[in-house]
């Protein structure tokens, strides 16, 4: 409200206009003057018209202020709304994918659980097979060194045997474990056993002389044939132990179990990924929701503040007009015709009729209106 309009000034103006006299500057005496408005004035009195027009100008300034501010406020709101809707779509997508991944994981987990697990875990099976293979390494290295083979070549040959023997034992153990053995499985088992036996016989022959010489100080020595047989028995014992380890670490339906285990691990990996993405999408959605709420609340508060200011100006005009009439009539000692008329309402622009929440390229959230 501009400073020249106030209830106090309206009262003072009402007294001044209602008097039929005024002070003369010199000498200080009262002199007659016409009252304002005239007793028979047919329409709104001039002062009421003046303050009404002044208030309407003030209200138009408030409307212009809102329109200027709302250009930025609505743009900020629409940007926040678009980002919110994108975040909402992303959250729905990631949540759906996470739920699908969870369903696949539960299905794979149930399938794996129904199949049962081997008696010996895969990790322990590998540990013991590697351990048995390493037990062969020192003695094989000594044997092959007797042939004058270089150190590197000796280690390579000995390491190859340490890897081949457990691997062959594993192949036998897996096939022995199968609930339904094919003809190929039986041929493979027999073939591996023959190859291993022949390999052990060959190695035993190479080791025999070395072992017999090494054990002379214990029990008077060993014959080469006895040493060879001893080697075969020891190695077949180790091989049998490796077969037993592989047997207990295998599943009766190995191929199906491996597929189920692969599906389980893949489903678990996918679930972890989708759950992480869903969590990130939820955090992003929360940020965009709060940004939208802030933009919406600030715009609504600014709108309501300026709307209330305009409405207050309109009400103040009515109070000023009534105060002017009261003081004017009191000075006259009577009420005139135009004071019996209803005080005109201020012409309010339609700027504050409603708050437009529509935004291009958005769902518009059901055309919100301020509470």
> How high is the mean pLDDT in each 10-residue block of the chain (371 residues)?
74 92 81 90 91 93 96 95 95 96 93 80 80 69 52 65 79 80 82 81 68 55 65 77 84 81 92 96 96 96 95 93 94 89 90 91 57 44
- SS3 of residue 21 by DSSP: strand
304 contact partners, CB below 8 Å, separation of at least 6: 370
**Residue from 299, 304, 369 nearest 69 by CA:** 299
For the chain, the domains span: 7-79+291-366, 118-250
* 207-254 pLDDT, tens digit each: 666 655 555 555 455 566 666 677 777 778 878 888 888 888 888 877
**Residue from 65, 87, 84, 90 nearest 359 by CA:** 84
pLDDT reported for residue 93: 96
**Are 310 and 348 within 8 A, CB to CB?**
yes
**Are 243 and 216 within 8 A, CB to CB?**
no
CA 146 – CA 154 distance, rounded (Å): 10
DSSP for 142-201 reads: HHHHTTT--HHHHHHHHHHHHHHHHHHHHHHHHHHH-SS--HHHHHHHHHHHHHHHHHHH
Classify residue 160 as exposed, middle or buried by CB count within 10 Å of its CB (0-12, 13-18, 19+).
exposed
Instruction: Return the bridge partners of 31, or none.
Output: 22
| Three-class SS of 269-330 | HHHHHHHHHHHHHHHHHHHHHHHHHHHHHHHHHHHHHHHHHHHHHHHHHHHHHHHHHHHHHH
83 contact partners, CB below 8 Å, separation of at least 6: 288, 291, 292
**Are 239 and 165 within 8 A, CB to CB?**
yes
pLDDT reported for residue 213: 58
**Are 32 and 20 within 8 A, CB to CB?**
yes
CA distance readout (Å), 233 to 164, 214, 215, 230: 18, 18, 17, 5
Q: How many CA atoms lie within 13 A of 300 on its CB side?
A: 11
**Model-level pTM?**
0.66
CA 343 – CA 5 distance, rounded (Å): 17
Q: 98: how many CB neighbours lie within 10 A of its CB?
A: 21
* 91-145 pLDDT, tens digit each: 999 999 999 999 999 999 998 888 787 777 778 888 878 887 777 666 565 555 5
């Amino acid at each position: 409200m501009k400073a020249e309009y106030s209830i106090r000034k309206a009262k003072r103006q009402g007294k001044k206009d209602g008097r039929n006299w005024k002070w003369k500057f010199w000498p200080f005496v009262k002199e007659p003057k016409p009252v304002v408005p005239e007793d028979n004035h047919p329409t709104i009195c001039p002062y009421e018209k003046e303050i009404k027009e002044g208030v309407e100008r003030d209200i138009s300034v408030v409307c212009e202020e809102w329109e200027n501010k709302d250009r930025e406020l609505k743009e900020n709101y629409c940007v926040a709304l678009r980002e919110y809707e994108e975040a909402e779509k992303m959250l729905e997508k990631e949540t759906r994918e996470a739920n699908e991944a969870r369903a696949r994981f539960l299905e794979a987990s149930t399938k794996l659980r129904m199949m049962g697990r081997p008696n010996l875990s895969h990790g322990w099976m590998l540990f013991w097979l590697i351990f048995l293979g390493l037990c062969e390494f020192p003695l094989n290295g000594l044997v092959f060194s007797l042939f004058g083979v270089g150190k590197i070549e000796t280690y390579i040959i000995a390491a190859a045997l340490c890897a081949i023997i457990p691997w062959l034992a594993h192949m036998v153990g897996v096939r022995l474990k199968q609930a339904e053995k094919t003809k190929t499985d039986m041929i493979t088992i027999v073939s591996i056993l023959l190859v291993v036996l022949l390999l052990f016989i060959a190695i035993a022959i190479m080791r025999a002389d070395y072992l017999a010489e090494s054990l002379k100080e214990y029990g008077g020595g060993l014959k080469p044939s006895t040493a060879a047989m001893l080697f075969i028995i020891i190695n077949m014992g180790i091989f049998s132990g490796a077969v037993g380890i592989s047997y207990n670490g295998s599943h009766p339906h190995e191929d199906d179990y491996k597929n189920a285990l692969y599906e389980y691990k893949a489903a678990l990996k996918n679930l972890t990924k989708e759950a992480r993405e869903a969590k990130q999408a939820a955090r992003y959605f929360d940020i965009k929701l709060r940004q939208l709420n802030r933009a919406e609340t600030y715009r609504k508060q600014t709108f309501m503040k300026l709307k209330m200011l305009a409405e207050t100006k309109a009400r103040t005009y009515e109070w000023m007009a009534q105060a002017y009439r009261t003081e004017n009539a009191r000075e006259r000692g009577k009420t005139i015709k135009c004071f019996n008329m209803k005080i005109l309402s201020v012409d309010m622009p339609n700027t504050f009729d409603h708050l437009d929440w529509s935004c291009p390229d958005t769902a518009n959230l059901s055309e919100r209106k301020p509470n």
